Amino acid sequence: MRDVLLASASPRRRELLAGLGLNVVAHAADIDETVAEGETSEDLVARLAATKAAFVAARKPGELVIAADTVVVIDGAITNKPADAAENRSFLERLSGRTHEVFTGHALRLGGRSDDVVVRTLVEFRPLEEEEIENYVSTGEGLDKAGGYAIQGRGAALIRRIEGCYSNVVGLSLPTVVESARRLGVRLV
């Protein structure tokens, strides 16, 4: 079983990597995640993932470090994690019947080498009734998720279709991580 360092406290990212048979050791990177003036969504997730990876790699040289950062974007605006149930409701009302983008920046570090990739997935919500939104919000599932929903949970019923990588919407594109690691000389599968 290969050890990897995950520069994140996300249980979802940890579960995705563990599903590959990896021994995942989480090392959360406490960094400033403020959006820089004029920064695009793609640039933001790339910068944050790279900063997290560098933070952990500096403390654990020679180890394979995997970092990621995910944002949900609708109408060009970043939709982060909702602060409370009211904001979660507002997010879902905005996403209802529409397509949005999910961007995840991936940054891998190993012995001074790096591989960084941003992945974009389109997610189309079906039109939601007010009662459905209330029922979903009442579960609390979306409170700690970018965009206010979990595709891997009850939120799957809100989604009509996706175009792109499913695990990217969860928070880490597994195919991207496997390919990036391979470019660094590491086989994860």
Residues with a known catalytic role: 69
Residue 158 and residue 140 in contact, taking contact as beta carbons nearer than 8 Å? no
The residues pairing with 74 across neighbouring beta strands, listed in sequence order, are 77
Rounded Cα distance, 163 and 20, in Å = 23
Measured CA to CA in angstroms, residue 68 lies from 23, 93, 94, 95, 183 at distances of: 17, 27, 25, 23, 17
Q: Which tokens belong to 152? A: 């891997």
DSSP assignment of 35-57: PPTT--HHHHHHHHHHHHHHHHH
